[in-house]
Each structure stands twice: as C-alpha cells, then as structure tokens.
Amino acid sequence: MSDIIRLENIEKSYGTHQVLFGIDAEVSEGETFAVIGPNGAGKTTLFKVMTGEAPCNGGRVIFRGEDVTAIPAHRRARAGMGRTFQVARVFLELTVLENVVVAVEARHKNEGRRDVPWYAFKPAQSVVAEAMELLAHFELEAKRDAEASELSHGDRKRLELAITLAGKPKVLMLDEPTAGMSPSDRAGVVEVIKRIREENRITIIMTEHDMSVIFGLADRILVMNQGARLALGSIEEVRNSPVVREVYLGKESQHD
C-alpha cells in the first residue's frame, strides 16, 4: 500500500512553547489511522499541521507524493483533505439541507462545473438530490428543514460529517468524532464511520479518547505523549508496548 500522508520530523511551537517534537508517521492509502494520547499531547495540533491550519516550524508534510508543507489550508482541502472539528462547525442559521447544499455546490465550483454557480439563488436539482442522498445516509432527512442550531449534539456531528463528505475528500480527518456523546450516540457514530469507509474506500485519520471506539475502528495507532511519538503500530502492538502501558494505557489495561 502506498502512503497517502507522510510526516517527516514535524516540529511545532506556539511562540516559545514547543508542542510537537520530531514526529515521524506515515498513513497508508485506505487505512484507518488513529492518533491517541492524553489531553494536551498535541493530537489536534498534529491535525492542523497536516491540514495546513497551523504551519509547522520544522519538518515536511507529504500528501499523495507531493510536498505540501508550504501549501495553504484551502488548497490542501481542495486537493482532498476533508476535516471535522473537535467542536462541530456548521452554519447554525442555515437549515440542515442548506448546509449540505452549500458544501455540494462548493465542490462543484472547485471541480470547475459552471452549471451550478455557488451563489445561485435556487440550487440546481442535481445539487439538492445529491445533498438529500447524503442526508439520507446520516438519517437526517426528516430534519432537512430544521435550523442547524436546533439540532442535538449527535445530529450536529452527523451533519458535519455529511458536509465534509460532500467535498468528496481523499482523506477524512475526524478530530474526536464522538466527543461529548452518550454511549448509544457513540456506537451510532462508529457504525456510520464503518459505513463511510466501506462505501467510499476512504482513508480515515482520527483522534479519539474513547478506547472502545479506537479499538473498533483503527488499523494502526499513533500514540502521543507531551508532543512526542510514543509508539506507532497495530492495536496489538500498541496494547503490548510496555512504554504505552506505563504512560498511557496503564490504568485501563489492568482491567483487561
């Protein structure tokens, strides 16, 4: 399998505060890659370095064979990096359907399709149909006319996923997709992610604090601690790593 993203010796500081220390990692095409670690370990910062939201101070980011270290975030997004956020980002004043329509139209515009200008007062039927298909996928059809601000936390996260997938990303980056959810909503999100993965054969990079979510989804895991790479490997390798057990999984693995 070829690498879709490769991180080489990534260093990142905010002012004088260094938060990433020489991170090396590679994500294979089609795999589900999890980044775990305690609060403040640098997971979200590593995401931002990958997407370009926070440029690194040292090292290189290679995306699909191209050095994108100096490429701004919006161009990386167009090239196929789709990301959700630890706190869901949707247009709160728009309806559920309008949110997805805007995302589908933005993609059409990026693809150079002139039939559906993003500023059109009335979206083309094909755009609405595509948006409805996405809503159906996430069981949000019945809520199509609700304002996004009225949605429950779980529905809002699902809407954000629908919006992100409307861009047809090559790699789907999920920063804590189940943050703040009830156990049943959490299980629902795991099922949705599995479905997305099967139907789109997409590469997924995710951070998550819930180990049952990680163990249910990840092919490989990068374990971070205080900005450094602690371990990288399969679930088994990571679970059996003495350094990981000691620093991170220690308490949890005693319950096995």
Ligand X SMILES: Nc1ncnc2c1ncn2[C@@H]1O[C@H](COP(=O)(O)OP(=O)(O)OP(=O)(O)O)[C@@H](O)[C@H]1O
Nearer to ligand X, 20 or 134 (CB): 20
Interface pattern 14-43 for Mg ion (x via CB under 5 A) = -----------------------------x
The answer to the question of residue 45 lying near ligand X (CB under 6 A) is yes
Which region among 40-48, 77-85, 154-162, 212-220 touches ligand X (by CB under 6 A)? 40-48
| Residues of span 180-199 touching ligand X by CB under 6 A | none
Element housing 217 (H / E) = helix 211-217
| Residues of span 75-134 touching ligand X by CB under 6 A | 86
Q: Which residues contact 66 (CB under 8 A, 6 or more apart)?
A: none
**Residue 200, amino acid:** N
**Residue 252, amino acid:** E
The answer to the question of residue 17 lying near ligand X (CB under 6 A) is yes
The interaxial angle of helices 125-137 and 96-110, nearest 10 deg, is 120
Cα gap 5→63, rounded to integer Å:
5
Which of 41, 88, 100, 159 lies at the binding interface for ligand X (CB under 6 A)?
41
Q: Among Mg ion, ligand X, none, what binds residue 37 when CB lies within 5 to 8 Å by partner kind?
A: ligand X
The answer to the question of residue 43 lying near ligand X (CB under 6 A) is yes
The answer to the question of residue 44 lying near Mg ion (CB under 5 A) is yes
Cα gap 132→143, rounded to integer Å:
11
Which region among 43-51, 63-71, 135-143, 144-152 touches ligand X (by CB under 6 A)? 43-51
The answer to the question of residue 167 lying near ligand X (CB under 6 A) is no
Cα–Cα nearest to 11, from 255, 232, 227, 233: 227
CA dihedral 251, 209, 227, 40 (to 10 degrees): -100
